[in-house]
């Protein structure tokens, strides 16, 4: 589980990232990245699964939990001082946990967070 101190929660935090960041895409995710001014420097992550992509809330929440579990394992190696929004694409709903993990790791490397 991803601890609360590593999560974006307020709408203003999400708006800040959307306003400043350009997306980096992979087959299962879109990532937006902006520097933050949180002391001590931590990276905070928000996960977005659109209701247009996955209609059922239970499926959206399950997918978010899977992604949070992957990110919790990766947090020690992720660079500090950023706010990240990770948008999940439609294709991720049928992906295996191993595929999600590999795809997310490659995306974090391309964004220079790993």
Domain harbouring 93, CATH code: 3.30.230.10
Q: What is the per-residue pLDDT for 30?
A: 96
Side-chain-facing half-sphere of 107: CA atoms under 13 Å: 26
What's the average model confidence in pLDDT over 81-96?
A: 94
On the question of pLDDT at 91 being above 90, the answer is: yes
CA pair distance 34, 113, nearest whole angstrom: 11
Q: Using 50, 70 and 90 to split pLDDT, how confident is the model at 28? A: very high
pTM: predicted TM-score of the whole model, two decimal places = 0.89
CA pair distance 7, 45, nearest whole angstrom: 5
89 in Cβ contact with 29 (< 8 Å) = yes
Q: What is the per-residue pLDDT for 3?
A: 85
Q: What is the per-residue pLDDT for 70?
A: 93
Structural domain for 45, as ranges: 4-110
CA pair distance 7, 93, nearest whole angstrom: 22
Q: What is the per-residue pLDDT for 2?
A: 82
């Amino acid at each position: 589980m991803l601890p609360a101190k590593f999560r974006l929660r307020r709408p203003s935090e999400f708006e800040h990232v959307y306003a400043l960041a350009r997306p980096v895409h992979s087959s299962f995710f879109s990532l937006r990245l902006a520097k933050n001014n949180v002391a001590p420097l931590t990276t905070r992550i928000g996960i977005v699964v659109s209701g247009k992509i996955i209609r059922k809330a239970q499926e959206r929440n399950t997918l978010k939990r899977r992604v949070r579990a992957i990110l919790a394992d990766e947090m020690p190696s992720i660079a500090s001082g950023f706010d990240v929004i990770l948008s999940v694409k439609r294709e991720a709903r049928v992906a295996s946990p191993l595929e999600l993990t590999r795809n997310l790791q490659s995306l974090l490397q391309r964004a220079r967070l790993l």
